Amino acid sequence: MSAFLVRRMTSADVQAVALLDQMSFSLPWPPTAFQRELETPHSRCWVTETRLEAPLDYPSPIPESLPSLSLQAGDLAIVAMLVLWKVVDEAHVATLAVHPRFRRRGIARQLLTRSLSAAAREGARSAMLEVRASNAGAIRLYKELGFAEVGRRPRYYKDNNEDAVLMTLEALNPQTFQTAPHFAENP
């Protein structure tokens, strides 16, 4: 099994992160948004990287926005990203994506738990997020981590007028989560 490193995002990661966002969402953030997030004091930007065992492509679904990225076996690759906003004593998960080839390996769980634990160490006492009502896998993961549905935003997503499910995690603290052994952390 490949080893994964959860670490803070840097400017060098922005191209891969923006492509990952475009591959993952029908309403992706503009490519420049991730650089702005890195420069915003309340943003906490994280990535998960691994050394590739086989080539990996980040095709650009929006060709005019970013060039595609192709990596070879042995290269380090960003396979997941998360942006969290720390506002007073709340952590707001703004976006979370995993490369399609690396889904269902526990990467989203570890990235989320690492970032929330770090936010708790910085004083966050609760967390919130919104997720598409149709994203059953993500909703299941969030519930497994202790999030509860607290409401809905009707027709929140403008591409198809889908509702957003609002979820919160109360009583957040640094000891809330455990780490899987094949994940390392580099704060």
What amino acid positions are annotated as catalytic residues? Answer: 130, 142
Rg of the chain over all Cα atoms, to the nearest angstrom: 16
Outline where 4-147 has alpha helix (H).
14-24, 32-39, 107-121, 136-144
CB 8 within 8 A of CB 185: no
- What is the distance of C-alpha 135 from the center of its chain? 15
Cα dist from 49 to 5, 18, 79, 140, whole Å: 5, 15, 6, 24
